[in-house]
Structure 1
Amino acid sequence: MNQGDEPVTIAQQARFLAVALIVGALTGVFGGFFHLAIDWIIDWPTWLADHAEGWLLVAASATMTMAATLLAVFITRRFAPEASGSGVPEIEGAIAGIRHVHWERVLPVKFIAGIAAIGSGLVLGREGPTIHMGGSVALAASEKFRLSTEDRQALLAAGAGAGLACAFNAPMSAVLFVIEETRKQFPYSFQNYMGVFAAAIAGTVVTQIISGARPWLPLPAGVAGLASLPVFAALGIIQGAVGVLFNRSIMAMLDVAAAWQHRAPFVWPALVGLLVGALMIVAPLTVTGGERVISQIAVLPPSAGVLLILAVARYFTSVACYSVGTPGGIFAPILSVATCIGLAFGVLLQMTFPEELSSLGVTPVSFGIVAMSALFSAAVHAPAVGVVLVVELTGAYALVLPMLTACLTASLVARWLGGRPIYEQMLERTLAAAGRTPPSSADVGLAADSNRPAT
């Protein structure tokens, strides 16, 4: 019998929830200041433009991003190689009992190197580092309070959820992320489930105290009539195919970067840093995490051609930047690519069927918002998280039904095309690199069960 079936006293539940609240609050502190630091640093091209111009400005910008990228890569490789990338696969592996998170080194490296990488302009999301930091805080608390193995696994998931909550100011998405993304590993019980709630609440509250309470991307959503649902389903089909292609490109580029690292360890990060730094001046919409990009193009959408070019450009910069091995996530880059595709889809429809689209109450921005949830679902294979996350980010509650429709078709198309969850593939790749055989779904469940106390 596992802990979920044993009677748990009120005192035990209260103690666990208190620890979860502490973990959530500390995650909110780290995440809140992490975001503030990036928000302050990311404006460095404006400062640089006051002291240089022309090709000198481009060269200086490329050099600065390259230096910051190399610094982040060096810190990560030297002190905590497992801190590279988003950290979500590491957390999932740790919950399943097949990976170990060295929180003492992951926490500072993820914080410092993440600020350097994302603040330099690399196309990386902030949610990966905060999720990994949340899990690291949870492990530190588990050791401090001497929790059991199952409680440690549950608190690890709660800390990761708090990291997502503070990254996007999205507590409900954080709870669903734990349920949907770690469903094979999470030791479910009432106490553990409530612990996730407690950590998400605390993380969001602290983040709001530090950075304010508002949707991350408040956009004019508009409305969508029932007759528009087939159109949103068609958008989901497109995003399903893009999601599969995106995941395969990420995995292929990781292999390319690994080959470069074997021959010349820092050449690939240097090249990517130079390119991104130059684009920061020449084509700023093609780089950075994507938060400001989404806001800019949604307020005044460019032509469909420009949007498609921007989608392709951000697709490749996202894949290239993730492969260099610095801390950083893929949520925000996925959302920005999706917005470009969705807006282009909407603009083309508006040009072709202006009266029909107007009668349905749909605008190009509506397609941009729905596209975010659809592409997220296709890449991560977590459609419920995709819908709720985008709703919390944008406040687009009127588009829930179109989102569900698009996520349904995107998920089906991604599965039928042979797509697999991106984090599952990353975890398997990490285990293979370490000389371990990637576990099957049944193996993961047995690993989690073997770590639970027996009667």
Structure 2
Amino acid sequence: MWYQHIREETQTYLKTFVYPYTGFLTKPLIRPKFIAVVEASLIGITSGLAAVTLKEGVGWLGSWRIAASLKFPPWLLLPIFGLIGGFLTGVLVERLAPETGGSGVPQVKAALAGMTVPLNFQIAIVKMLTTILTVGSGLTLGRQGPTVQIGASLAAWISRWLPTSPSYSRQLIACGAAAGLAAGFNAPIAGVLFVVEDLMHDVSGITLGPAIIASFVGAVTSQMLGGKSLYLENSSDYLDTSITGFLDPKEIPFYIVLGILAGLLGTVFSRGIIATSIFNQRKLKLKLPWRIAITGLISGLIIASLPESFHNYTGLREILGSNEANLKLSFIAFTAHFVLTIFAAGSGAPGGLFAPSLIIGSALGQIIGILQSNLVGIEQPTIFALAGMGAFFCAVSRAPITAVVVIFEQTQDFRLVLPLMIVSIVALLVAEKIDKKSLSDLVLDLKGLQLNKETSANDYLSNIRADQVMHTPVETLDFNLTLDEVKQKFSSSTHRGFPVLDSQGLLVGIVTQTDLVYTRKRQVPGNHLLKEFMTLHPMTVKTRDNLSEVLNLLHRYKISRLPVMEGRHLVGIITDTDIIKIESEQLIGETNSRTNPPEPSYVVYQTRAPQIGNGRLLVPLSNPRTAPALLRLAAVIARQRNYELECLQIVIVPRQNSPAETVVDTTESRRLLAMAERIATDLQIPIHTQVRVGHDIADAILETVKERHISLILMGWKGDIAPGRIFGSIVDTLMQQAICEVVVVKWGGEKFREREKFSGVANEKFNPYSDYVYSFLGWRQWLVPLRDIPTQAAAVKLLPALVSLSVKPEILLCQVCTQSVVNPNIQEMQQAARMLKHRLHTEVMATTVCSKSVSEAVVDLANAHHSDVVVIGASKEGFLRHMINGNIPEAIARGCDCTVILVRAANN
């Protein structure tokens, strides 16, 4: 297609003329924190504007309804308004957005729990229009609850402008919900607390900074455009300022009674709404428009029969919040709103329950306050009314902190804090004693959305980190390889892509099969370097990123793999296949071993150095006499590859003892690690150390490899062989299970063994560092048997570091041909010899030997050439074949008097 051609031409131009010179342009120019602040502010502004628009719309339609009721008979006009408004509301909800029915808080709660609940711009608009029709037509519902869903929907819509990870989108939805409630009540603190306390039940699941910013901006926007308060108009003016005491002890019993009644009646209120909803859906079986229309008609008839003050909810709230309300008016207000709100909410009409809960609670508090005034003589019905608001709100929402804060932010009177705390806690205890679930949870249960609070903070993939699934260490390519060498690597591997490292070991690109197709289409010559056609600045993830975020990146950018970084270290790679495997395990209900690991080893001592390398080399230490030689070998490898050293000492405890609960003596272990630190300091290599307590040495090493993202293990071997083993249980286990590169050294030579035999702690003149390292000077003759492609063999890659220890080394590459090999590839051997000679500036020869036994041929060749060191390459599969067909590495190590180094490549 024509657009594909344009895309290919654009990519060609960028790769050729832009990326090599302007790589810095691909780096983010705006800090993530700044972006978060901008997004939170934008969400706050839009939520505030939506809240003001909703308030003005409800006020306009409600004023028109009240004005008309003064000109025409209320018993006729109010029911007609409720009938028409309810029917129009039902039509809009049913045809445009069924998700906008109800208060909207349960829908947001489900979305934040990871359930598939639509939140978008259309839902925000429909919710706003239908709430205006519902509340403005006279149904006893509020507009503060819908602002939560409107704010969350607007936030979800804004998050799609700049696609982000699912967890961050969830953060923005939480910000929108907080901003919506804050704008509805002009209570920014209550907005944040409500999201944490009721919607998410977990403070760890929300970044409070953006939520606070969104709430503050939303509240400020609504206050500037909608007045000082969107709910309690000058409520503090009705408080008796002549009372200076904060709380009279005589009032406490009445506050407790108020809390008990609020808890009981709040639970009845919630259950009544659920029962009405079930009746409407299963028994009445009317369509939504007619259901809401009939509810509006009945509400209009009942309200028309009540005193004129009930026609205007704002006026009724002002009366209940003052000293003008009497016992009869308060009782009528409580009963009417209690019953009418149950019918309105049960019909499925869009509208919130926050405002009705506050009115019902205010009337209940006014009743208790008047009774208290008659019995005790302390006239504070207004404070009781405000305390009743918080109590009933708490009983319905099960959010006591939000209940206290939302009333306090409206009144800004400290005298209310203690009464609010008393009644809210009592109401919560009573309500939870009767029913554990809040109204939002009951509504979700009715909809078939079972909300598990223990797992609602994240979905299954969000509980698994990238470093628990990734493949490590990663098979990489050098950016100076030619196109022909890259093609050869792809042809000999099952991988569809490789990360590319520069000369410093830093990730600079990635090459995939798509890039090779690009080179074929453009007829790129085979001698072109990899850095000229690879994909620059690849997208990466961090070790602690969860799989939900990784999957989102893979799908959004249509890629199949992502490098995993720890700092600037490339420590693994994760593919879409890995995530599909995890999802399939979840679907079939398999127990994931990652979440149920056996009892691990325990770190009792550790030191850390700066993380300045491109990988880590692990050296398990046990013998103080051989430790200096191992560290010297480790140092040259670390220097060549720019690795850090990780020295490990393991203390074994009995199986019946828990490693984390066993007291051990680490004196000798720390002394050994201190010696390692001195040697590393002399060699100027960064070193980390740790002492682990465990049941098994091999398991402790494998745990360290995984936790510390080890790239290579270097360890010694005494030469002891157990029955049925190749090198013994520890080395065999690491050879088969370690995901990183493994290097095993069996020290050889008469001088070396004599020094080990006769040197001891009692010999004060013995210097283990100088004495053992002295043996490296005799390493001149090197024998390297090869089986795979010589230039890609692990032993060949390690040679430059190893031979740097010896003076004037001479290297012999050999290939042992058995009967299965008819035509040995001499050219590849000679090519490897030339490459090493050019790189090491030393003598390198290549030869081929035919023999029935590989081990006998290598031993004979080592003895004939007086080899000082034999370096053997191995693979996991080859190592297993040795166990079946014959112990080749052990036979070579036993037959050769010299040092034998076994190099096993990483398991990818």
Structure 2 residue ranges without an equivalent (≥5) = 1-27, 464-546, 551-563, 565-908
Query: Who is 2:257 aligned against?
Result: 234
CA drift at 1:444: 2.0
- How far the C-alpha of 1:288 sits from its partner, in A, is 7.1
Q: What per-residue deviation string (whole Å, max 9, x for no partner) do you get for residues 339-360 of structure 1? A: 1111011111212222xx2xxx
- 2:305 corresponds in structure 1 to 282
Q: Counterpart of 2:44?
A: 24
How far is 1:64 from its partner? Answer: 1.9
Q: Residues 385-409 of structure 1: CA distance to partner in whole angstroms, max 9, x if unpaired?
A: 0000111123332110111111111
In the TM superposition, residue 244 of structure 1 has moved relative to its aligned partner by 1.1
Q: Which amino acid aligns with 1:343?
A: Q
Aligned mate of 1:221, from 239, 247, 256: 239
Quick one: which of 419, 427, 433 aligns to 1:416?
433
1:350 matched to 2:370? The reply is no
Distance 1:94 1:453 in 2: 17
Letter aligned with residue 447 of structure 1: D
Residues 181-223 of structure 1, C-alpha deviations (whole Å, 9 max, x = no match): 133467636xx21010111111112111211224731143345
| Greater RCO, 1 or 2 (C-alpha within 8 Å, sep 6+) | 1
User: What aligned pairs does 1:306-325 form with structure 2 within 5 A after superposition?
Assistant: 306-325=329-348
The question of whether the paired residues in 2 share the 8 Å contact of 1:170 and 1:389 is answered with yes
d(CA) in 2 for partners of 1:284, 1:339: 18
Q: Give the one of 438, 447, 452 matched to 1:440.
A: 452
Q: Once the two structures are superposed, what CA deviation does each residue of 1:229-280 show, in whole Å capped at 9, x if it has no partner? A: 3331221111111111111111111112213563455443222111222344
Q: Is the 8 A contact 2:143 2:184 kept in 1?
A: yes
**Does the 8 Å CA contact 1:76/1:109 hold for their aligned counterparts?**
yes
- Give TM-score, length-normalised by structure 2: 0.46
Percent of aligned pairs sharing the same letter: 25
- Counterpart in the other structure of 2:318: 295
Matched AA of 1:321: A
Tell me, in whole angstroms, the C-alpha distance in 1 between the residues paired with 2:230 and 2:151: 21
Preserved CA contact (<8 Å) 2:239 2:322: no
> Is the contact between residue 237 and residue 413 of structure 1 (CA under 8 Å) also seen in structure 2?
yes
Q: Is the 8 A contact 1:380 1:423 kept in 2?
A: yes
Residue 377 of structure 1 and its aligned partner are, at CA, apart by 1.1
Structure (1 or 2) with the greater helix fraction: 1
Alpha-carbon offset, residue 284 of structure 1: 5.8
From the CA coordinates, give the structure whose radius of gyration is larger: 2
**Alpha-carbon separation, structure 2, partners of 1:408 and 1:102:** 33
Matching residue of 2:266: 243
Alignment of 1:377-396 (within 5 A): 377-396=394-413
What amino acid does structure 2 have at the position aligned with 1:42? G
CA–CA distance in structure 1, aligned partners of residues 29 and 184 of structure 2: 34
Tell me which residue corresponds to 1:327.
350
Q: What is the Cα deviation at residue 61 of structure 1?
A: 2.4
Q: Which range moved further: 310-319 or 284-293? A: 284-293
Q: 1:366 to 1:51 in 2, by over 3 A?
A: closer
Most deviating of 150-159 and 304-313: 304-313
How many residues are matched? 432
1:453 is aligned, of 546, 549, 561, to 549
* 1:93 Cα deviation from its structure 2 partner: 0.9
* Partners of 1:339 and 1:372 within 8 A in 2: yes
Equivalent residue number for residue 74 of structure 1: 91
Paired amino acid for 2:169: R
Which whole-Å CA distance do the structure 2 matches of 1:257 and 1:308 have between them? 28
Letter of the aligned partner of 1:252 in structure 2? A
Query: How far apart, in 2, do the equivalents of 1:447 and 1:233 lie?
Result: 40
How far apart are residue 29 of structure 1 and its match?
0.9
Does residue 1:36 correspond to 2:132, yes or no? no
Q: How far apart are the structure 1 equivalents of 2:349 and 2:374?
A: 41
Residue equivalent to 2:154: 137
C-alpha RMSD of matched pairs (Å): 2.4
CA–CA distance in structure 1, aligned partners of residues 66 and 170 of structure 2: 44
Instruction: Name the residue aligned to 2:103.
Output: 86
Given residue 442 of structure 1, which amino acid in structure 2 is its aligned partner?
E
1:124-163 deviation digits (Å, cap 9, x = unpaired): 1111221111011111111001121111001001001100
- Higher mean alpha-carbon deviation, 220-229 vs 154-163, is at 220-229
Q: Where does structure 1 lack aligned partners over 5 or more consecutive residues?
A: 1-7
| Structure with higher strand content | 2
Contact 2:109 2:200 in 1 (8 A): no
Whole-angstrom CA distance in 2 between matches of 1:211 and 1:203: 11
2-side partners of 1:288 and 1:388: how far apart? 29
> Is the CA contact (8 Å cut-off) linking 1:154 and 1:186 kept in structure 2?
no
In structure 2, C-alpha distance between the alignment counterparts of 1:286 and 1:319, rounded to whole Å: 21
Residue aligning to 2:614:
none
TM-score normalised by the chain length of structure 1: 0.88
Residue identity in the other structure for 2:34: A
Confirm or deny that 1:204 pairs with 2:222.
Answer: no
Q: Distance in 2 between matches of 1:28 and 1:289?
A: 24
The one-letter amino acid paired with 2:453 is: S
* Residues 1:133 and 1:281: Cα distance change in structure 2 (over 3 Å): same
**Residues 265-301 of structure 1: CA distance to partner in whole angstroms, max 9, x if unpaired?**
5443222111222344332679679443221233244
User: Which digits, 9 at most, give the CA deviation of each residue in 1:385-435, with x for residues without a partner?
Assistant: 0000111123332110111111111111111122421111112222x1xxx
Say if 1:290 and 1:336, in contact at 8 Å, map to a contact too.
no
Three-state SS of the structure 2 residue aligned to 1:60 is helix
Q: Distance in 2 between matches of 1:211 and 1:306?
A: 30
Letter in 1 for 2:221: V
- For 1:177 and 1:285, the matched residues in 2 are separated by 35
1:3 is matched with which residue?
none
Alpha-carbon distance between aligned partners in 2 of 1:165 and 1:303, rounded to the nearest angstrom: 32
Q: Is the Cα contact below 8 Å between 2:113 and 2:451 reproduced in 1?
A: no
Label 1:265 to 1:132 Cα distance change in 2 as closer, same or farther (>3 A). closer
